[in-house]
Structure 1
Amino acid sequence: MDRRESVRGQRATLLQYMTMLLLSLMTSAESLAEVTLSVHEEQDAGIFIGNIEQHVFIEVNDGETLTYELLNNSEYVTLDEETGYLYTTKHRIDRENICPIDNLMNECMLELDVIVKPDEYFKMIKVNIIIEDINDNAPYFPEENIVLFIPENSPVFGAPFGTDNTAIDKDFGINANLSYHLENDNGFFSVKKEGSLLLVTVKKQLDRETQDIHEMKLIAMDAGSPPLSGTATLIVHIEDANDNCPTFAPSDSILVKLPENEPPGNVVARVQATDADLGSNAEISYSYSPRVSETSKKLFHLDSSTGIITLLEGINKETPLEHKLTVYANGELCPPATAVVTVVISQIFIGQPVIGISYIASQDNDGIVLKENEPEKTAVAIFEVNNSKNIPYVLYIEGDVPFILKPYDDKYLLMTSKPLDFELEKYYDVFIVANDSTRPGVQHKKFLKVKVTDVNDNPPQFTQDVFEFFIEENNKADASLGKVSATDEDSDENGLVLYHLGPEALQVFCINEETGDLTVRTVLDREKMEMHKIEVFGVDQGNPSLSTSTTVTIHVLDQNDNHPHFITSEFSFFIPENFPLLGEIGIINASDADTGLNGQIIISIVNSSNVFVMDNVRGVLRCSADIDREKEDLYEIWLTAKDSGTPALSSTAKVTIFVLDINDNAPKVLVPKNNLSCLPVPVTAKPGSTLAGIYAVDIDSGMNAVMNYRIIGAENQHTFSLFQIDPSTGNISLQEQIAIDNYGMHCLLIEISDSGLPKPLQSTVWVNLYINKSSGPCELQAEPNLTISGPFIEIQGRCGNQFSEIHCSQLTFIIGLSMMMASTMFCFVGTCMFINARRTNKKNYRTQNCEDSDIPLKLNQNFNTKDWTTIQ
């Protein structure tokens, strides 16, 4: 039933609105109005947007009132039905959510319908609220890594290379106007946006052979205030260009001695050139120079791809004894490099020996195979001279190769003369020559090819001793830190390097074992740790494997993500009045966990105080004006600590300064008004009755305002005995019965003294009492002019007797000292009670707003002097 009633209610409301809408359409065109307002996005609740009544004139009759009703159920806007004021709600207006990025080409608006209802008719108003953008979205790149391929022969400041990997900013207008720049590009590149593309321009000549990959940070920054930025890694691969030509080693002039009975198919020599380029740009073909004779070309075949020269056919007596073979190493668009092979054919005489060979080392199709880690003097083969004529022959090795021949039972043992190194030389051509010691020039030659195979004898070597990477804190998860790289001079699996983190590395870091790319899985916080050191191992895949390590230092760069922090939210200080100018009131402690400009704090006074100033050099609050407790006994100021980051962050603290009283004001007599005041005393007054009262105030506080009254001058000694004054109230009373001799004017000089320390302050007043049977008015034409002498101080008076100030007795000193001690104890107890109360209510003070924290000031009172007649 409840659900049905709810549906019926909704239908009734909808019918009502439709009826109002129909009525509004039936009214004249003049009754339809449109209002355009604007509001910034992301405002707090209760922010005033606009007043409908100010934008639309509606004429009403006397006594009529307007009411406003919002037809649309908007979660972002509320309408005051009585005033027509529009306000924001707790649901923040997010422009990017209300108007998706695809629809942000035009203004983003909330469209509302408001009905204004006077007593007799209503009017519908269309309200358009333009949502104005704020810079609340930082640019971001959809891809973390942007890869470009640029040829190494690209001209400097030539045609740029474009990519559509631009950043995205969800803001609008100037807040989405992006500019781009590069960091860590080492001056090689620049970037700018043109249309929908990012254009990368080469600023410095590239060389792939020197550096084949450039990694730099690409930063997109918007034009908002303050500007926001996003980053990506721009990786430029330098493509090889054919800018290197083949070259031979300087020593590539080869002399070969070939016996005339050398069988066809044997290798005579090999030439080898190098090209620093890659791929097809490094392909080398070999050919004979046109100056090589056709006879030599027919006799010696040159393999165009390997540079191996072999004997094609048998040597006869008509074959020339010397052949100069000039070989070209040809590369595309390059002049040929030249090497010269000189082949000298040795004649064979009858009975010339034949060199036989017995292999010790293992063999394959290319010849003898030796591992590079074979020790020195490893046996390779045994050579034997088959000499039918018993002609003495000597065997030796031609050329500089790491082998030696050692006589062994009428034979020769071929051994290594030093350890072999695959990384230095992979092949050796060994020529064994037999010379007839009795006939120079008669020789026989045997060729042996030795192939060196690789063993895992080289650990990986990192390209840098130490790697340093930089990343801003509050990074995205799985953000790239950088890349480590190691090389291994070994071949195949022995030279394949994989990367691993050391056992003490935090689990938040990970590394791609194949590429060496280092990433961080989680968000880093510089305030927790600003530098991480991890050990990275490069391990080859040989058996057994070899490894080496390097240290990677990761610097976490600061962002302004910490507000300045006061040591307490409320400071309390006590200073005496008349505090010296620029005196130090107290230390204001504030800190910021950030570093650099982000942690540089400036403390300032918010509520424009002219009395105090903040000294940021020493971190103290100083007094900059005269302090008078009687004018102001308490000050409350607010401080803000603001860092120098972008955007700047701040925090506030409250400072309460209590002004302590010093005795700088003497008592002020209010009654009597002046020294001419006169009060009649009836003769019927009884002893003990109060005749007059002295009223005085002291605007100091505490013991500085506690007053004592005493008579310090009188007409005669009998006047002292006739009247007395209450030292605490100032009331003057009659001590004795009035006699006839007492009739007339009695002038009393009264001293009012406060109890201040270290020295009390005094004021004096004349009290003139006229004893007379008549109760008529009492008048005094001039101030008393008595000359007082004797035991009192000298005072000029009119009443005609002499007296002076009474000297302080020892009792008076003891009483004064007791009062000083009591005053000190009172101040100490009061201060302790105040501090205890502050500690008890500290939590309540912190949770209340500034109005709750106000301490009421003591209001100064304006005192006016009066006379006894006015009081009576």
Structure 2
Amino acid sequence: MVQWGHRSWRWKIMWLLSMFFSFYIYTARGQIRYSILEEMKKGSLIGNVAQDLGLDLKRLRTGRARIVTGESTQYAEFKTDKGILVVSERIDREQLCGDVTPCSFSFEIILENPMELHPVTVEILDENDHAPSFQNKELKFEISESATLGSRFLLESADDHDVGVNSLQNYIFSTNNHFVLKQHSNPDGSKYAEMVLQKALDREEHPHLSLKLIAVDGGNPQRSGSVNIEVTVLDANDNAPVFNQTVYRASVMENAPKGTYVTTVNATDADASSYGRITYNFYKQKGTAAQLFNIDSDTGIVSVIGEIDHEKDIKFELTVEARDQGGLTDSSKIALEVIDVNDNAPVINTMSFSNTVSENAPPDTTIAIINVKDSDNDDNGKVNCFIEGSEDFTIKSTLRNYYSLVINAILDREKLSEYNITVIATDSGKPPLTSRKTFNLKVTDVNDNPPVFQQSIYNSYLLENNSPGVSILSIRARDPDENQNARISYILEENDFGGSPVGTYVSVNAESGVVHAVRAFDYEQIKNIKVTIIAQDGGSPPLCSNVTVNIFIQDQNDNAPQVLYPVQSGASVVAEIVPRSAAVGYLVTKVVAVDVDSGQNAWLSYKLQKATDRALFEVGLQNGEIRTVRQVTDKDAVKQRLTVVVEDNGQPSRSATVNVNVAVADSFPEVLSEVTDFSHDKDYNDNLTFYLVLALAAVSFLFITCLVVIISVKIYRWRQSRLFFKSNLPVIPYYPPRYADTVGTGTLQHAYNYEVYRTTDSRSSDCKFVRPASQNVFIVDPNSTLTVQRPPGEKNMLDELDSPVEASNGSSAYRDRRKHSVQNRPRTALRRHHAMQLQLRDYSREPNGAAPGYCRNHRC
């Protein structure tokens, strides 16, 4: 009893010491270690992390402090608002670690901005919550009465799940006269007992003995367990079995299949017959060993019957008992080492990961932090990590088993907007095992690309006289950015065009890029418009680009031809004189018209609309020249009025008409009697009295005028004949009205006047080029006298006929002309004919660089 009490005090002191160190903290290099008792209530304090690491609570909140662990069960909880660790689940040390000591679990506390890792280890201290226990409630022995003194009998060991001082400490044997208890310790520190025979047995005196074995631990309060021992005394068996080795050493591979041979034990017995027959068995093994191994009772062969895992047990110590038929036994040990096999692939755990990153993130930016563990040992547990298939990222090791996934290059979202980064972890085993984990990373956009137009220059064509607001063209720019950075607005660059802002001509839709006409355009005023349009994205700051848009105005047939010659005037009448001797094809005059449109809209054609007599004249379809189509007869009226229609080639076509008055006569009086009628073809709407008064005044005026004209003509002819040879004074020619320069868009691309022509023979259609002379027109003004101007320097046709040079030639042509002139026409009539001939002269430069006098559509 005294001894028992002494042990109780010793255990009490040990318990107090364990409680003193239950909250011992160890911090070094950012690592914290706490010790707590098992079976603490949920919410019990483990330690003050903030105080131990020297961190304030604000840093814990901003850094999003949290626990990261690869364990399936998390026993601790971190209170960031207080900076403390508390128990989150009930902790059973025996369930967590079994016989392993010391027992602990580890985790990391991670903080961000900047990133910090603080390993934490929590050691679980044992509490005496288990009493020693025996597997069997009763132990039975059969011992021969001839057993020699000192014979040993192995007793069943008690199991105590506690460790340290709380584990099994001692065995107590009940008092008897035959056996004493002898205790032993195994290499792992566990205790077992044997009962040793100290007094010979006498079956006849005591055939049966009842004993009791008590196992006690060192906890406070102390716990114990007991088992009954029943000894049956047999007849004599003089020799006990003996093993040939005290300890058998062997090894086995983990994951070895069932039935794998481990080792063979062997014992011998000197007795004969049944007392020498030995059987083998494992002596009351505890834990998982009894479920993993089997021994053949007859041969002593040990084999595998269960799944061996090196990560759970690295070695086994088995006790083997050899028993003969007489009940005598011997025991031996099997030290069994488990050889590790590379059967565990690395495990990749994500500590921190951001699934988005900006495309302008600099290299070495951390994307993720991972933890890689391998449960195997030695080379089988050495892990190497790398990235598969992407050179834009790399992996770096920061701490043991911790890796950082960082950017290795400049990212471009427009080339690749999403990455699937595969991290591969491979151990060094043979063969190596590999694990993979894929991280999906999206690259967020930065406004680093300006809009780009599909074309460098846009050309568009628009018909003139368009409706205001009509769509001209649509431009489109593309921005490879996304969202707001790719939202494009179109802006018309402000500049002047023709003295006005370009916005008064065109506009552009800011969203669609459609260019509209602000007003109607006139091709004759504006041929093309050049504008600059800016495309600007919605980024911050915005980026932009511009493009040039050329808008070409296309002509429409909106202008009718304009007749330049003959001039239509109400104040005077122009008459073209055709001699009755004119041959077929005789050039009467030429209608000149222009069209300010361009292209085919300005291609003009001429045709006669009506004539006052049967067809005597025709007009050239393209050149507007009026020529005779037959010989003039006496039946042809002196007064001829031709209506020429000038029509362009537009769709629809436009036209203009001009009246050409032609007098068919050889003498001036004949013409004079008819030509004034041209001016009387007008309709008057005045009352009758007015016409009567006007007629009386006209008759009186005409009488006086005729007298003056006759005298003037006589004087004029006399002066003309003299001036023809002596005077070289220039005569002011007739110029057509000046029209607006069409800049190459009308019919006449250059300014033209008209050249004087005359026939070399009244019966020939050929033309002869002469030197520049004034126009020869016949103008009748009702309010003035008639005058006929003869070009200076023009020779009298009779003079030509009498020319000694031509006469001397003696040519038949000369004789024919001479004969024709004398027989058919008086000399004076020929002079009048040439004096009254209407001719045109061109005083400006001729097309194609020709000299003055260039003749078109005639043989010269």
TM-score by length of 2: 0.49
Greater RCO (CA < 8 Å, at least 6 residues apart): 2
